[in-house]
Amino acid sequence: MAMSAPNVRKHLSADALFDLLRAGCAPIADHRPGKPDIALTDALMSAFAMFSLQSPSLLACDQERPEGNLQRVYGIERVPCDTAMREILDPVAPASLRPLFKQVFRALQRGKALEEMVFVEGHSLLALEGTGSFSSNQIHCDACLETHHRYGTVT
């Protein structure tokens, strides 16, 4: 009995979704004056790459991958260091990313990729968590989740 390959929907492939993300980053206004060395789109895609690959830092993400992988897979022309990425992205309003999220979500809905995640009464169940991988005892904001350790430290 011959096995058949699953039906691949090209518009839902990783390459197509990464291209959609990259194109969706382009209209986001860059807060920096002049022509910066690293494009906002590259910084946004670098952050996405770091989170999607579950790396503790961009440096670790870059070192764990084969040469040029972030450029080839995610279409990043210049990968910023961790510090530069924070300086570029910290002033970006999270609300400006909402249209990008909606664009990708619509593509997944149209391609019926989310149907198997329907849980109760048409609602989707999606588990997202980044607090274990991305935490600090030095950097925080008013919206951060805090863990108070028994020895008095706060993460």
Question: pLDDT digits over 16-61, tens only?
Answer: 888 899 999 999 989 899 889 999 999 999 888 888 877 777 677 7
Residue ranges of domains in the chain: 10-116
Give the model's pLDDT for residue 38.
93
Spans in the chain with pLDDT lower than 70: 1-9, 58, 62, 64-67, 126-135
Give the model's pLDDT for residue 2.
55
Do 82 and 29 touch, CB atoms closer than 8 A?
A: no
Residue 154 carries which DSSP code? B
Do 43 and 122 touch, CB atoms closer than 8 A?
A: no
Give the model's pLDDT for residue 88.
93
Give the model's pLDDT for residue 112.
84
Give the model's pLDDT for residue 5.
43
| CA 7 to chain centroid | 26
d(CA 76, CA 65) in angstroms, rounded, equals: 14
